[in-house]
Amino acid sequence: MRSVEEQQARVAAAAVAPRPVRVAIAESQGLMCAEEVVTERPMPGFDQAAIDGYAVRSVDVLSVGDGAGEISLPVMGSIEAGARTPSRLQPRQAARVQTGAPMPTLADAVLPLRWTDGGENRVRILRSVRSGAYVRRTGDDVQPGDVAVRAGTIIGPAQVGLLAAVGRDRVLVHPRPRLSVMCVGGELVDVSRNPGTGQVYDVNSYALAAAGRDAGAEVNRVGIISTDPGELRETVEGQVNRNEIVVIAGAVGGAAAESVRTVLSELGEMEVARIAMHPGSVQGFGQLGRDRVPVFLLPANPVSALVVFEVMVRPLIRLSLGKRQPMRRVVQARTLSPISSMAGRTGYLRGQLMRDQDTGEYLVQALGGAPGASTHLLATLAEANCLVVIPSEVDEVRTGETVDVAFLAQRG
């Protein structure tokens, strides 16, 4: 029986990031930048007012507050944001300016409105201002040749804004890996139909497709596929040729799964093995097609399939996205109830993680992990916000003991 870590290493070795593509910056959020975005122009591109007020020469208002009496200046006009006509300030003049408006020549500061009487033709000055105050100078943010967004940076709202600010409408990124999800099983029907005797809804293709999107993949949910050898081969081969990762649920265990594996072996290397984990110990992994695309065979049980996806498939998606840390965040938490696990296998058990408001300590309540409880209840997985990770050498965890807990995606 292979350890979880050994199987994860085999999977990680197959990770191949899709070739970088150039996309509109509006579509780049959440993706990793694949180029050094070097600015060609300064930002801002001109001296501009940082606040509504009056553009002045600071030397003209230095004496305010020094006993020299009241100072007032004539207002030569108003300059709006976006104004394109150059203007020039004469000595002992002021110009009304809006935030973002270009500064008139000779002006070196902006007087905030609250430091004046707000006059339109002539303005009374209540306070002095130093040179450069409330002015955004040319190139204050970025100078030509500066790197605005570095390769390897995950593009978020700030990076999208910076790309727009330096005039980039497209950017080279590592795209989302394409993931295909399909299921096999003569007992399966789609949720749009009423199941007959002996039939069950196809849960896995919907649940695993959602898990793939949560991990960051571009998902194609194929749904239920035929186990006829010819049709199966054609379907899988087509998906392998157009995706970076393929997941087939229901293809381990039983006579039908054996026939599926026989067909897949014609397309490349495929191995079904027992992994020292529960649930989902029996699983398959291989690389099929001319491009040796990673293909996973998952159990038919939805809980087992989702756990295997979380432990094996999700890290591969994250690696393909270029993430440096593909695994979930793990914290230590104190158990609120006893937990039973399977000796010799690493347990991934559902739980609810919470935090003590007084001490800040993490606490975890196992769901379905009590002695004698079933590990295959989908309802409890839906309630979980974490997976409790029990080492393979541990079969019982007492109340109050500390365990490792992996965060699952936050529910809104």
Structure confidence at residue 250 as a pLDDT band (50, 70, 90): confident
Q: What is the pLDDT of residue 257?
A: 75
More confident residue, 409 or 71: 71
Q: What is the pLDDT of residue 217?
A: 93
More confident residue, 261 or 207: 207
Q: What is the pLDDT of residue 398?
A: 93
Give Cβ neighbours of residue 142 (< 8 Å, ≥ 6 apart): 39, 42, 43, 148, 165, 166
Q: What is the pLDDT of residue 332?
A: 93
**Over residues 219-246, mean pLDDT:** 92
Q: What is the pLDDT of residue 412?
A: 36
pLDDT tens, position by position, 2-22: 999 999 999 999 987 778 899
pLDDT of 372 strictly over 50: no
Q: What is the pLDDT of residue 141?
A: 78
Q: What is the pLDDT of residue 211?
A: 94
Q: What is the pLDDT of residue 411?
A: 44
Q: Rounded to an integer, what distance in angstroms lies between the CA atom of residue 54 and that of residue 315?
A: 56
pLDDT tens, position by position, 120-167: 899 998 888 899 999 999 888 778 888 889 988 889 999 999 899 888
Q: What is the pLDDT of residue 378?
A: 61
Map tokens 């109340």 to a residue. Answer: 399
Q: What percentage of the chain exceeds 90 in pLDDT?
A: 56
More confident residue, 322 or 374: 322
pLDDT tens, position by position, 29-86: 988 898 999 888 887 888 999 999 999 999 988 877 655 567 889 999 999 998 888 8
Q: What is the pLDDT of residue 208?
A: 96
pLDDT of 312 strictly over 80: yes
Structure confidence at residue 371 as a pLDDT band (50, 70, 90): very low
Are the CB atoms for 364 and 405 separated by under 8 Å? yes
pLDDT tens, position by position, 314-362: 999 998 887 778 888 899 999 999 999 998 999 999 899 998 888 989 9
How confident is the prediction for the chain on average, in pLDDT?
88
pLDDT tens, position by position, 175-194: 999 999 999 988 888 888 88
